[in-house]
């Protein structure tokens, strides 16, 4: 759709909102695709009924999001959104909320449980090698909360990657920094408790084997058990730490 936006739309939107709306609607409709060259600044300003200085400023903001690729001397092109910007937004937004850790855990479960089902159908030999390598790294870093927490995160991220679902992968990446922090914090609490570590290693191994077997129902079940075991053992470890004893029976 070309031409100047109707007056009733311009009356209800600011100039910058019209520019954002232009790109949002055309990218969603597929009219604009990554790499497409945009109309000239003069033509866009006329079409959107905005001043060229405001258009320039708004397009610079879109450029920071990766949505616009401005090439001096060549023009402006449709870019690809930078997922790190979304990740930063989620990190700042959710970190300010109460019970952020619990909310993140619920989002993680929703993403991973669907991802593992898809991984059972779609995982390639390369995906399985990657997940297996992450499991090996996890086992090798049991005594180090920082490296162990990161290895744990990478194991689960590899499962999501093996789903080959771009939507799930994007959402997971958006909360990845908070997830990594959560993994490390949990490992700090549990890494000195042998039973906790042994059970979590076996739980991770069973999750991996379920993907190799390609049974989506079993994989979903084992992953949910893994989450439940991890949470229960973490709670027992905290109780033991503050009571001065071993892991509660």
Domain harbouring 53, CATH code? 1.10.10.10
**Residue 158: inside a domain, yes or no?**
yes
Residue 214 in any domain: the answer is yes
Task: Confirm if 183 and 152 have CB atoms less than 8 A apart.
Answer: yes
Same domain for 207 and 88: yes
Q: Tell me, yes or no, whether 218 and 98 share the same domain.
A: yes
d(CA 203, CA 160): 17
Same domain, 211 and 124: yes
Burial of 221 (0-12, 13-18, 19+ CB in 10 A): middle
Considering the domain architecture, whether residues 95 and 61 belong to the same structural domain is answered as no
pLDDT at 2: 42
- Domain housing 107: 84-240
**Shared-domain flag, residues 122 and 193:** yes
- Give 148-199 pLDDT, tens digit per residue: 999 999 999 999 999 999 999 989 988 888 889 888 888 887 777 777 778 8
pLDDT value of position 72 = 82
Taking the C-alpha atoms of residue 194 and residue 192, their distance in angstroms, rounded to an integer, is 6
Mean pLDDT in the chain? 84
> Could you give the CA distance from residue 9 to residue 81 in angstroms, rounded to a whole number?
26
Residue, of 139 and 63, whose pLDDT is higher: 139
State mean pLDDT over 217-231. 87
Are both 118 and 168 inside the same structural domain? Answer: yes
SS3 content of the chain, % helix, strand, coil (to 5): 75, 5, 20
CA 28 to mean position of chain CA atoms: 21
User: What is the arithmetic mean of pLDDT over 112-136?
Assistant: 97
Q: Where is the domain boundary, 32, 63, 78?
A: 78
CATH code: domain of residue 150: 1.20.120.530
Residue 243 in this model has a pLDDT that exceeds 70: no
- Asked if residue 103 and residue 214 are part of one domain, the reply reads yes
Does residue 90 share a domain with residue 35?
no
Question: Does some domain include residue 247?
Answer: no
Provide the H-helix boundaries in 36-165: 41-48, 52-64, 83-95, 100-122, 125-140, 145-162
CB-based contact 100:114 (threshold 8 Å) = no
Domain boundary among 56, 78, 100: 78
In a domain, 30, yes or no: yes
Domain membership flag for residue 181: yes
Query: 206 versus 75: which is more confidently predicted?
Result: 206
The pLDDT of residue 64 is above 60: yes
> What digits encode the pLDDT tens for the residues 71-102?
888 889 998 877 777 667 767 776 666 666 77
246 falls within a domain: no
* Pair 69, 108 in one domain: no
244: left (phi over 0), alpha (psi -120 to 50) or beta: left
Number of domains in the chain: 2
pLDDT of residue 109: 94
């Amino acid at each position: 759709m070309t031409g100047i936006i109707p007056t009733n739309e311009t009356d209800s939107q600011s100039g910058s909102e019209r520019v954002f709306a232009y790109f949002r609607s055309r990218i969603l409709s597929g009219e604009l695709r990554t790499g497409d060259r945009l109309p000239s600044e003069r033509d866009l300003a006329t079409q959107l009924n905005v001043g060229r200085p405001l258009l320039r400023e708004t397009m610079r903001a879109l450029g920071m999001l990766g949505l616009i690729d401005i090439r001096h001397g060549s023009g402006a092109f449709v870019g690809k959104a930078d997922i790190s910007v979304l990740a930063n937004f989620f990190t700042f937004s959710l970190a300010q909320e109460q019970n952020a850790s619990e909310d993140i855990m619920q989002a993680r479960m929703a993403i991973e449980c669907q991802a593992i089902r898809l991984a059972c159908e779609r995982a390639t030999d390369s995906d399985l090698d990657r997940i297996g390598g992450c499991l090996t790294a996890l086992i090798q870093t049991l005594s180090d909360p920082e490296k162990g927490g990161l290895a744990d995160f990478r194991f689960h991220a590899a499962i999501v990657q093996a789903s080959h679902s771009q939507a799930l992968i994007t959402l997971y990446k958006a909360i990845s920094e908070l997830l990594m922090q959560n993994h490390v914090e949990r490992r700090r609490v549990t890494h000195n408790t042998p039973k906790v570590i042994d059970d979590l290693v076996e739980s991770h191994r069973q999750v991996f084997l379920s993907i190799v077997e390609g049974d989506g129902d079993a994989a979903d079940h084992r992953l949910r058990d893994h989450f439940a075991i991890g949470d229960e053992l973490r709670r027992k470890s905290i109780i033991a730490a503050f009571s001065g004893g071993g892991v509660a029976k």
